[in-house]
Amino acid sequence: MKGVVLWPEPDRVPLARSTNTNEFAAYTGVAGRVNRWVAKLGIKGKRVVMTDTPAPRFIHFLGAFGAGGLITLMLLTNGTLAQYGSLMFSSWVPHLTGTALAIAILLVLRPVRTSPKRPPLWAYLGGVSGGLTVIATSAAMNSALALSGTIALGLAGQIAFSLFADARGLFGLPQRMPNLRDLTGLGLIVAGALVIIFWGGGA
Amino acid sequence: MITVIGLAVGAGVLVGLSRQLNGRLALSTSAMESSFWNHIVGLAFVSVLALAIGGLFEGAPMEAPWWAFLGGPIGFMFIAAGSWAINRIGAAQTAMLIIAGQMISSVLLDASMGVSGNIWARALGVALILGGMWVTRAAKAKP
């Protein structure tokens, strides 16, 4: 792969350089007040090294964990849609209502761009990848793998690729090597997920 | 079978890829703008696909309960949260915590809706996940 620039190094944005570590804190009104309060909560964490991004804080862990809860709700809403309409419809509707809400939120909050530099064009393709996920998942689900097998293999793919992306600093995201404790925690979470998927009866 | 396994693993890779691309976009813009682009590009993509394949409005989609249409707003928050977290705690930890949150909340949802299942397996799974979260969290607390 040497010599081939597969992913040209994009402009790295040193978030930590700005005094405003919480990008939402710049908002005005109620949202700004809430976010400055959230930012205050995280102040206790000691900043040790100045890296490209702010040091991990409890609020970041909580955010990602909470996002997992949102998936469960999405499976419920989109799965219910799929019971009444086509699979395509159950993917099309959430994209439509999500876009509507996104436009409303951008108009009201007007979030500031963190960098004057334009992001690379390929960074806009996350939605295509998300759309393809629906197709790949539904194809795998209707096979001998069934739902549990599809979810389990999907988790494996997601984690393997995320570890690879971290180790390489893929797509210009901060590079980081997982240590033994990270991997231990990861192993426990994967084991727990597999137990629930295969023996818990419905995931 | 190899093809199907490839598809299932590939779906997981695509989930990670999507989050990384959105995270990269959020690095230059903001988590909310990144979520907006994810949804509008995804909408265009799914619309083109629906036109090509057809059968978008097959069945009786309008008879679905009103709350089933709220997946979009939830998805908006999900993508924004993921794009926000990945730049701060990395792709692997974001994926890991999202999986942990998904698994624990699905067990709680199943329990609250009275879905039958092996309660011991569920409890063991949740305990393993909480243990895993504690291990990584403890690692981060001591720099």
**Test the B interface: residue of A52, A107, A128, A170 with most B CBs within 10 Å:** A128
Contact A129 B138 (CB under 8 A): no
Q: Which of residues 174-193 of A touch B (CB under 8 A)?
A: 174, 176, 178-179, 181-182, 184-193
* pLDDT number for residue B119: 85
In 3D space, the residue among B106, B8, B10 whose CA is nearest the CA of residue A145 turns out to be B8
Q: What is the pLDDT of residues A94-134, one digit of tens each?
A: 999 999 999 999 999 888 888 888 889 999 999 999 888 88
Indicate the average pLDDT of chain A: 76
Residues A134-153 have a mean pLDDT of 82
Inform me whether the pLDDT recorded for A160 exceeds 60: yes
Contact A10 B24 (CB under 8 A): yes
Residues A1-23 have a mean pLDDT of 42
* pLDDT number for residue B45: 94
Q: How far apart are CA B125 and CA A195, in angstroms?
A: 5
* pLDDT number for residue A39: 55
Q: How far apart are CA B11 and CA B40, in angstroms?
A: 20
Inform me whether the pLDDT recorded for B140 exceeds 60: no
Which token pair is A66?
Answer: 């909470």
Q: What is the pLDDT of residues A52-77, one digit of tens each?
A: 556 667 888 889 999 999 988 988 88
Tell which wins on pLDDT, A46 or B69. Answer: B69
- pLDDT category, A19, cuts 50, 70, 90? very low
Contact status, residue A91 vs residue A134, Cβ threshold 8 Å? yes
Which token pair is A88?
Answer: 């395509």
Find chain A residues with C-beta within 8 A of B22's C-beta. 123, 126
Choice among A26-30, A83-87, A142-146, B102-106 with the minimum mean pLDDT: A26-30
* pLDDT number for residue B139: 52
* pLDDT number for residue A75: 86
Q: Which residue of A has its CA nearest to B103?
A: A193
Q: What is the pLDDT of residues A186-197, one digit of tens each?
A: 999 999 989 888
Residue A54 phi/psi, 5-degree rounding, is -65, 155
Return the domain boundaries, chain A. 15-115, 126-203
* pLDDT number for residue A102: 94
Nearest 5 degrees, angle CA B139-CA A66-CA B34?
100
pTM of the model: 0.78
What does A102-171 look like in DSSP terms, one character per residue? HHHHHHHH-PPPS-SSPPPGGGGGHHHHHHHHHHHHHHHHTSTTHHHHHHHHHHHHHHHHHHHHHHHTGG
Beta bridge partners of A65: none
Q: What is the pLDDT of residues B3-25, one digit of tens each?
A: 888 988 999 999 999 999 999 99
Residues B26-41 have a mean pLDDT of 93
* pLDDT number for residue A7: 44
Q: Which residue of A has its CA nearest to B134?
A: A185
* pLDDT number for residue A104: 94
Residues B67-76 have a mean pLDDT of 92
Nearest-neighbour CA in chain A from B2: distance (Å): 11
- pLDDT category, A37, cuts 50, 70, 90? low
Contact A86 B56 (CB under 8 A): yes
Return the domain boundaries, chain B. 1-89, 90-143
* pLDDT number for residue A108: 92
Contact B91 A165 (CB under 8 A): yes
- Number of Cβ within a 10 Å radius of residue A131: 24
Question: Measuring CA to CA, how many Å separate A122 from each of A7, A129, B22, B111?
Answer: 10, 11, 10, 42
